[in-house]
Amino acid sequence: MTAVVDIETAMARMVEQLHPMLKRRPLMVGIHTGGVWVAERLHTMLELAEPLGTLDISFYRDDFTRIGMNPQVRTSHLPVNVEDRHLILVDDVLHTGRTIRAALNEIFDYGRPASVALACLIERGGRELPIEPQVVGEHVKLGKNQHVKLLGPEKLELRIQEVNG
């Protein structure tokens, strides 16, 4: 099953919600892999001057002792000092909130930002932590055994799959 969500519309909605934040000169940070694709697009659409930051939260996951290392861990790269800056953290799908928890921990190992706002393309419910987004492209209702994945990077496409068990 694919695309119940129009990515372009969702992205335009995010841009609209992000506009009022721009006067604080925010730094944008995308979470690997899908979050970086979304952030790259937003970064261009909003014409942000400073370079995009990227985070790979593999070293901060709370399921490391159960699952182990992600074999395809990428390098985190925050090109601008986050100290006292307003950050916009971007991810593709917000589900349990655990990825965001890990990302926040990692960001604070680079410095102390003035604030962090969360922007996600898809908000799907199922939160296991008290984390809520400030910017949402689209709210999608999904069951526990449904899995949503963003495909890219050339053309972004949403795939919803039934997971067994």
Partner 1 sequence: MKPGLQFDDAGRLRHLLTIEGLSRQTILEILDTAESFLSVGEREIKKVPLLRGKTVVNLFFESSTRTRTTFEIAAKRLSADVINLNVSVSSTSKGETLLDTIRNLEAMHTDLFVVRHAESGAAHMIARHLPAHAHIINAGDGRHAHPTQGLLDVFTIRRYKGEFNKLKVAIVGDILHSRVARSQIHALNALGVAELRVIAPKTLLPTAVEKLGVRPYTRMEEGLDGVDVIMMLRLQRERMQGALIPSEQEYFNLYGLTPEKLALTAKDAIVMHPGPMNRGLEIDSAVADGPQSVILPQVTYGIAVRMAVMALIMGGSAEPAGGRR
Alpha-carbon 91 to chain mean position: 1
Nearest CB to partner 1, comparing residues 17 and 70: 70
Alpha carbon distance 98, 101 (integer Å): 5
Nearest CB to partner 1, comparing residues 41 and 101: 101
Nearest CB to partner 1, comparing residues 20 and 68: 68
C-alpha closest to that of 13 among 33, 35, 38, 37:
38
Least distance in angstroms from the C-beta of 35 to partner 1: 14
DSSP letter at 34 equals H
Nearest CB to partner 1, comparing residues 21 and 59: 59
Least distance in angstroms from the C-beta of 65 to partner 1: 5
Least distance in angstroms from the C-beta of 66 to partner 1: 5
Instruction: State the residues that interact with partner 1 by CB under 8 A.
Output: 56, 58-60, 63-69, 71-77, 95-96, 98-99, 105-106, 109-111, 163
Q: For residue 59, give Cα distances in angstroms to 100, 123, 149.
A: 13, 24, 21
Least distance in angstroms from the C-beta of 145 to partner 1: 11
Instruction: Yes or no: say if 41 and 100 are a contact pair by the CB < 8 Å rule.
Output: no
